[in-house]
Amino acid sequence: MSTSNGFTWIDGTLVDLAPDECERLLGTHAVGRIAWNGPAAPTVLPVNFIVADSEIWFRTTARSSLSREIDDLPVTFQVDEVDEFTRSGWSVQVHGTAHIVYDAARLPRTWPGIETWPAGAHALHVVIEQREITGRRLLPS
């Protein structure tokens, strides 16, 4: 229990989410965060993404640190939602291996395309070969 702004809150409960619920939540957002082990510490950057055939896809520019540092390496993709009013939310993370895809034949057959909000050419497609998906939900009290 904690007190804030004159209200007394009963603290929330954290529950683990089943993989299929994690997959569903992942599909509800247009922006997630790609994290990889940079030279000294993790780098965490928001990107526009889609889920196609259960795989996470996003785009990057040819000159980005992302394109130089993640190909064929372990990465984590994270999406969350936070409700500051009810003090609740959820977080999903996917562990896997990133691959830069140069061959258009590798794109999913039903390819919706990926809209990137920032201007400029985002010529490189990146797919995450998923190894594990986990998530937690913080229930409001």
Identify which of residues 54 and 141 has a Cβ nearer to its own copies in the complex. 141
d(CA 116, CA 58): 8
Q: Does 22 bind its own copies (CB under 8 A)?
A: no
Based on CB atoms, which residue is closest to its own copies, 24 or 87?
87
**CA–CA–CA angle 7, 12, 92 (5° rounding):** 130
Could you say whether residue 123 binds its own copies (CB under 8 A)? Answer: no
- Residue 114 makes CB contacts below 8 A (sequence gap 6+) with 48, 49, 50, 57, 58, 59, 122, 125
Residue numbers of the site for its own copies (CB under 8 A)?
2, 4, 10-14, 30-31, 33, 35-37, 40-46, 74-76, 78, 80, 82, 84, 87-89, 91, 93, 95-96, 115-120, 138, 141
